[in-house]
Amino acid sequence: MLINCAAYQGGRKLADLSPERPEELAEYLERPDCFLWVALRDPAPGELEPWRRLFDLHPLAVEDAVKGQQRPKVEEYGDALFAVMRLADWVAADVSLGEVAVFCGPKYVLSVRSGSKLHFLGVRERCEREPELLAHGPGFVLYALMDAVVDRYFPIVDLLEAELEEIEQSIFMRGAQRDNIQRLYELKRRLMKLRRAVAPMVEMLLKLHGGRTPPLCARTGEYFRDVADHVARIHAAIESVRETVATAIQANLSMVAIEDSDVTKRLAAWAGIFAVATAFAGIWGMNFEHMPELKKAWGYQAALGLITTVCAFLWWRFRRAGWL
């Protein structure tokens, strides 16, 4: 469950800590300009209780973190923040969504990751390499976590755009419409999954850098503004791909209609040709004694020749009209 637990002061790491020694954790919390950064993965409901008592976490926020499947959001509880984000990963040619809940207070950062194999070890290493920024405290750590989550959306958007371009190249290929419509709807489904993770973050980040910002983020507003810009770009790219997918679906359906129309034209043309032949044969096949050319030796050949000539003429006309 526990990935990491460390104490930081003035932007520098003091020590790795163990939750089995709560008195040591409390000691570091009492130091000035010191905070704890704790990372958990897939905790059981009762395993968050010691941290709730240590950091005085709000019960409603803890309940949301335990239940999971929350909409991306940020909530204020006094001088503390509770943020939920969706982790996106590309697994087996599909968008896989996990979740990370972050409790952030003046003296602590607690991240709870659920349903995802992605980790934030690179985020911790990056922050430790920049002590002058880490000195901003938990607010900067929250920014770094959000930035890492958002940056992982970019490769997935690129993959979805590349797939759309591949489908577009086969839109006007004859016989590929059934496969294209299936691929387009699969692409649309993956886009909707990613959109549900990204769209709420646009509003969520406005609370952290625009208007009245929480005191915890007062020194890092420009950093959250940068994350908000990235989210806006990703959201715009997703909306652009969605619109293109909708257009591609309409174009694909139009191609299906055109192909059906071509088939109908061919069937109608051949039906017209055979109808003429049937009409001639039906007329000469009537049991009347006095019919033109009935007693002639060459009457049968003449009738076949006339039928063949008329059918050939109709075939030529339909061919010229593009029906055959």
pLDDT of residue 289: 66
Length of the chain: 324
The one-digit pLDDT tens for each residue of the chain (324 residues) are: 788 889 999 889 998 888 778 788 888 888 888 999 999 988 887 888 889 899 999 999 998 888 888 899 999 998 899 999 999 998 888 899 999 999 999 999 999 998 888 787 788 888 989 999 998 999 999 999 999 999 999 999 999 999 999 888 887 777 777 788 888 999 999 999 999 999 999 888 888 887 678 888 888 888 999 999 999 999 999 999 999 998 888 887 777 776 777 777 778 888 888 888 888 777 777 766 666 666 677 777 777 887 888 888 888 887 877 777
213 phi and psi, to 5 degrees? -85, 150
SS (HEC) of the chain: CEEEEEEEECCEEEEECCCCCHHHHHHHHCCCCEEEEEEEECCCHHHHHHHHHHHCCCHHHHHHHHHCCCCCEEEEECCEEEEEEEEEEEECCEEEEEEEEEEEECCEEEEEEECCCCCCHHHHHHHHHCHHHHCCCHHHHHHHHHHHHHHCHHHHHHHHHHHHHHHHHCCCCCCCHHHHHHHHHHHHHHHHHHHHHHHHHHHHHHHHHCCCCCHHHCCCHHHHHHHHHHHHHHHHHHHHHHHHHHHHHHHHHHHHHHHHHHHHHHHHHHHHHHHHHHHHHHHHCCCCCCCCCCCCCCHHHHHHHHHHHHHHHHHHHHHHCCCC
pLDDT of residue 159: 93
pLDDT of residue 293: 65
pLDDT of residue 22: 77
Q: Does domain 1-133 have CATH number 3.30.460.20?
A: yes
pLDDT of residue 111: 92
Report the distance separating Cα 9 and Cα 7, nearest Å: 7
Token look-up 């999954």 returns: 193
At position 144, the amino acid (one-letter code) is: A
Q: What stretch(es) of the chain map to CATH 1.20.58.340?
A: 258-320
C-alpha distances in Å from residue 87, one per residue of 24, 119, 150, 177: 32, 10, 8, 34
pTM equals 0.79
C-alpha distances in Å from residue 323, one per residue of 172, 262, 265, 266: 19, 7, 5, 5
pLDDT of residue 219: 84
Q: What stretch(es) of the chain map to CATH 3.30.460.20?
A: 1-133
pLDDT of residue 33: 86
Report the distance separating Cα 53 and Cα 140, nearest Å: 24
pLDDT of residue 203: 87
Report the distance separating Cα 256 and Cα 250, nearest Å: 10
Q: Does domain 258-320 have CATH number 3.30.450.20?
A: no
